[in-house]
Amino acid sequence: MATIYDVAKLAGVSPATVSRVLNGIAVSEAKAAAVRSAAEELEFVPNRTARGLRTQTSEVIGLIIPDVENPYFTQVARGVEDAAQKAGYSVVLCNSDADPEKERVYLRIAVLQNMAGVIIAAASEDTDIGVVTAAGRPVVAIDRHNAFPVDTVVIDNRDAGYSATIGLIEQGFRRIACVSGPLHIDTARERAQGWRDAMQERLGATPGDLLVESNFQVGGGRAAMLQLLDRPERPDAVLLGNNLLGVGAIQVLSEKGLTPPAIGVAVLGSLPFTTIAPSAVSVMHLPGRKMGGVAADLLIDRLRGNQEPPRAVVLPGRLTPADLAG
C-alpha cells in the first residue's frame, strides 16, 4: 500500500502538497499533475483511518434504531441510506433494542469511531445524547423529540390518529376503540389524542373506556384485541396505534373469523408484509422512509457547516399517493 510519502517522492513534492491535491486545495497545476500521475502509477488510495485519526471525522453516519426487525424502522433506514449515499456517506446501523443501556453504548461507539454524526430514534425522550453533541458532532432526533436542542424530524401523529379515526367514522362505525402504545411516549399520546379529538368532534363523545393502553408490540395488540372482544359492549371498530399492534390485533380477528368489514380496523403504519386482503383494513401509511431521508439531509447539512438553531420538521401523518410511489 502506497502512502502519500511514496507519492510525494515520486512526484518530487512534499507530502503536504499531495494532501492538498487530494483535498482540492489550491496547488500549482504542474505539481498537481505530477501528483496525480504518481498517485495513479502507485495505485495510491488514501488511508481513511489515518485521516480519521487526524481530522477526528469520518464519512460514516451512525443510525440508531430500536428494532431492525420492525418494518417501520427498516423503511426509515432505507430512507437514511439512500440520502446518505447520495452525499458520499455510508451508514452504520445500530440496534438499540429500545434498551437505554445499549443506546448509551452505541452513542459512545459513535463518538469513538469518529462517526460524522448520528441519527437516532431514541428509546426515550430522556436519552442522553450529550456524549455526541459534546464531541461537537451533529445529532438528528427522529420519530420523537429529545430533551437536547437538536434537529428533529417527527410525524404529525395527532393528525394521523385523527384522520384514521375520521375515516372509520365515515365508514359508519361509532364505537371505535383505540389501542395505544404506552401513553408516556409522546408518539403514542399524540396519536391517541387525534383519535379523541375526532371522536369528540364528530360524535360528541369522549369515550375514555374505549382507550386501551398497551405496548407497541405484536403481543400487546393481541392482548388488547382479546380484551376488547371480551367486553359486554364490544366496539364496532378499532384503531391500532402502530404497525405491530395492527398485526397482533388482526391476527386475533382472523382467528375469531371476525374479519373486516364485520369490524372496522384502521392501522397507523404500513403493513408491508401483511397477508390480509389490502382493502379490508384502513392503513394510514406513515412516512418512515421520508423521515429517514429528511433526517439524513438535515444531518449532512450540519456536517457541511450549517450552524442555524435547531430545526424541527413535522411530516404530514397522511401520505399522498405520490409519497407512496417514491
Partner DNA sequence: ATGAAAGCGCTAACAA
Partner DNA sequence: TTGTTAGCGCTTTCAT
Residues that bind DNA (CB under 7 A): 1, 3-5, 12-20, 22-23, 26-28, 30-32, 44, 46-47, 50-51, 53-56
Cell readout for 69 is: 426487525
Least separation, in Å, of the C-beta of 1 and DNA? 6
Largest CA distance in the chain: 89
Plot region of 149 (φ>0 → left; ψ -120 to 50 → alpha; else → beta): beta
Q: Which does 19 bind (CB under 5 to 8 A by kind): DNA, a second copy, none?
A: DNA
Q: Which does 17 bind (CB under 5 to 8 A by kind): a second copy, DNA, none?
A: DNA
Measure the CA angle with vertex 118, ends 117 and 123; round to 5°: 165
Q: Which does 278 bind (CB under 5 to 8 A by kind): DNA, a second copy, none?
A: a second copy
Consecutive H or E run containing 178: strand 176-180
Least separation, in Å, of the C-beta of 61 and DNA? 18
Least separation, in Å, of the C-beta of 261 and a second copy? 13
Consecutive H or E run containing 17: helix 15-22
Q: Which does 251 bind (CB under 5 to 8 A by kind): a second copy, DNA, none?
A: a second copy
Cell readout for 42 is: 502507485
Contacts of 52 (CB under 8 A, 6+ apart): 58, 114
Residue 281 gets which letter from DSSP? S
Least separation, in Å, of the C-beta of 324 and a second copy? 14
Binding site for a second copy (CB under 8 A): 1, 45-50, 52-53, 58, 60, 68-69, 71, 74-75, 77-78, 81, 90-95, 108-109, 111-114, 135, 218, 243-244, 246-247, 250-251, 254-255, 271-280
Least separation, in Å, of the C-beta of 308 and a second copy? 26
Contacts of 237 (CB under 8 A, 6+ apart): 168, 171, 173, 174, 175, 176, 177, 263, 264, 265, 266
Q: Which is nearer to a second copy, 78 or 311 (CB)?
A: 78
Q: Which does 76 bind (CB under 5 to 8 A by kind): DNA, a second copy, none?
A: none
